[in-house]
A = this chain, B = another copy of it.
Amino acid sequence: MANDLRLGVAGLGTVGTSLVRIIHNKARALEKRCGRRIIVTAVSARNRDKDRGIDLSEANWFDDPVALAESDGIDVFVELMGGDSGAAEDSVRAALKASKHVVTANKALLAKHGVELARSAEANNVSLNYEAAVAGGIPIVKTMRESLAGNDVTRVYGILNGTCNYILTRMEREGLAFAECLADAQRLGYAEADPTFDIEGFDAAHKLAILTSLAFGCEISADSIYVEGITSITTADIEAADELGYRIKLLGVAQRTDTGIEQRVHPTMVPKSSAIARIDGVLNAVAVDGDAVGEVVLAGPGAGGNATASSVLADIADIGRGDRAPTLGKSADELEPYVRARMRKHEGGYYIRLSVFDRPGAFATIAQEMAAHNISLESIVQRRRAIKSDAPGNSHPGEPAPVILITYETTEEAIKEALGAIDAQNVIADKPQMIRIEKLT
C-alpha cells in the first residue's frame, strides 16, 4: 500500500459535510478502490463551534484557508467554499503554488480563472480536478476530458441548472405561473433567497464555459456567452410548446460554427421525443456530439450534498490512484484562443408568440413582415380566441389575442428585424416572445 492520501477540506457546508461523512463511513472501500487510505487531516470553515454531525477530532482546524492550503500536513486541497475571488481564489492559488493537488466544486472560479489555474497546476506538477463544478453528480468532466479523447466534438449542450428545470417542470405539469414555482423552489431549498444567479442563466453559463473549453480544446471564455434566463416564460408558451410537440428547457449550448465558437444559454424548444426533453425536475443532463462516437447523453442529479460529494470523491480517488489528466484535457499552452462566433448568424427555427390586436389587417401586417425578411412559417397557432382581424367587415378593434408562429430555419438577425418592424406598426400589444428551437436527433 502507498502512503495515505491526506486531505485538507476548506468549506464545511452541505457538500463538505457530506464529503467528510462519506470518507469516514467508507474508509475501507475507498482504500481498496484507491490502493491507499484517504484521510481528512485538516479542515477550515467559518464557524468552528457549529455541530455538523461529523467527527473532526482527528483533523487540524485552520481559521485561514490559505494557511490550510499551504500546510505541510496535506497532499490534496479540497476547496468547497465557493466564489470566484477572495478566500476561494487565494487558497486555490496558494495550494497549487505549494504543489498540492486541488479538488474543487467551484464553477465560478473555474469559469473566471480556469486557464490560469490549469497553467499553475501544470507548472507545479499537480492535478486540478473539478468534476463537481459541472452538473453535480454527473461524470461529465471525466467523460469529456478522458473518454472522448478520440473525438472531435461538434456540439455540447445540456440542462445545467436544476433550479430552472424544476421551475419549468412544475409550470408544465401543473400549469402554475413562474412566480409561484419559484417561490416553491425557494421554500424547498432548490433556489436561493436571491434567485437571480440561477433563473437569469448565469449559473448555467459558468458550467457551459467549462464544458466549451473541454469540448473544443480552447480557452475558457465565460464573458462570451449569450445568456437569457427563464423569467419571460409563461404557461401560454409551455402550453403552445406542448401542442406543437415541444418542451421548453433552459439549455446551455456550445457549438463550432464557420466563424468561431458559439456559446449560448437560453430557453429552448426541444422535441418531446428527444432524450433531453425527458429530464425533469432538479435533474441535469449533458449531451455531447462527437465525430467518432455520435451523441452520448449523461443524466443525473445536478446538485445536493451527497451527489456533489460523490463527484468530489471521484476526483480525490483519481489523485489517489495516480491518474493525472491535464486540467482542460490538454496542456494549457496547447489550448486554442477562444474565437467567438457571430451570434446573430445562428441559424435555426424559432417559436414566436405575439399578442395581436384584433384589428383589421393586423395579421396581414405580420405575415407581410415575415415574408419581407425571408422567414417561412412552418405553423401558425391561434390560441383561445380566433383573430377575425383579416375578415372583411370587421372594423372594431378588439382585445389582443395570442398568435404563435413556428418558423423554418432562419437567422436570429432576420427574426429580430421582422419583430422590430411588426412592433413599429402598432399591431401587437406586448413585447414579442421569441424562443429558439434546437435541432436534436
CB distance from A145 to the nearest CB of B (A): 9
Q: Which B residues are in CB contact (< 8 Å) with A33? A: 149, 326, 329-330
A309 touches B150 (CB 8 A): yes
A22: interface (CB < 8 Å): yes
B322 touches A293 (CB 8 A): no
Query: A residues 216-256 with Cβ under 8 Å of B?
Result: 217
- Give the residue name and chain of the B residue nearest to A18 (CB): B292
B290 touches A294 (CB 8 A): no
Q: Which of B26, B292, B311, B326 contacts A307 (CB 8 A)?
A: B292
**Contacts known (A32-B330, A33-B329); A147 close to B151, Cβ less than 8 A:** no
B293 touches A306 (CB 8 A): yes
A108: interface (CB < 8 Å): no
CA A344 to CA B114, docked complex, whole Å: 54
B299 touches A296 (CB 8 A): yes
A296 touches B292 (CB 8 A): no
CA A293 to CA B292, docked complex, whole Å: 29
Copies of chain A in the complex = 2
Q: Which B residues are in CB contact (< 8 Å) with A304? A: 294
A298: interface (CB < 8 Å): yes
A152 touches B293 (CB 8 A): no
- Give the residue name and chain of the B residue nearest to A306 (CB): B292
**Contacts known (A139-B143, A299-B296); A29 close to B306, Cβ less than 8 A:** no
Q: Which of B32, B131, B299 contacts A334 (CB 8 A)?
A: B32
CA A140 to CA B17, docked complex, whole Å: 28
- Give the residue name and chain of the B residue nearest to A149 (CB): B317
Query: A residues 42-74 with Cβ under 8 Å of B?
Result: none
**Contacts known (A290-B310, A292-B313, A309-B292); A131 close to B147, Cβ less than 8 A:** yes
Contact with B along A88-99 (1 / 0, CB 8 A): 000000000000
Candidate in A152, A293, A309 with the most chain B CB atoms within 10 angstroms = A293
Q: Which B residues are in CB contact (< 8 Å) with A293? A: 137, 300-301, 306-307, 310-311
Interface size counted on chain A using CB atoms at 8 A: 60
B150 touches A313 (CB 8 A): yes
Q: Which B residues are in CB contact (< 8 Å) with A30? A: 149-150
Q: Which B residues are in CB contact (< 8 Å) with A138? A: 296
Q: Which B residues are in CB contact (< 8 Å) with A143? A: 139, 142-143
A115: interface (CB < 8 Å): no
- Give the residue name and chain of the B residue nearest to A33 (CB): B149
Interface residues of A (CB under 8 A from B): 18, 22, 26, 29-30, 32-35, 131, 137-139, 142-143, 146-152, 217, 273, 275, 278-279, 290-301, 304, 306-307, 309-314, 317-318, 321-326, 329-331, 334
Given contacts A146-B318, A291-B306, A296-B299, list 11 more A-B pairs with CB under 8 A.
Answer: A29-B152, A32-B334, A33-B149, A33-B326, A33-B330, A137-B294, A139-B148, A149-B313, A150-B313, A293-B300, A322-B324
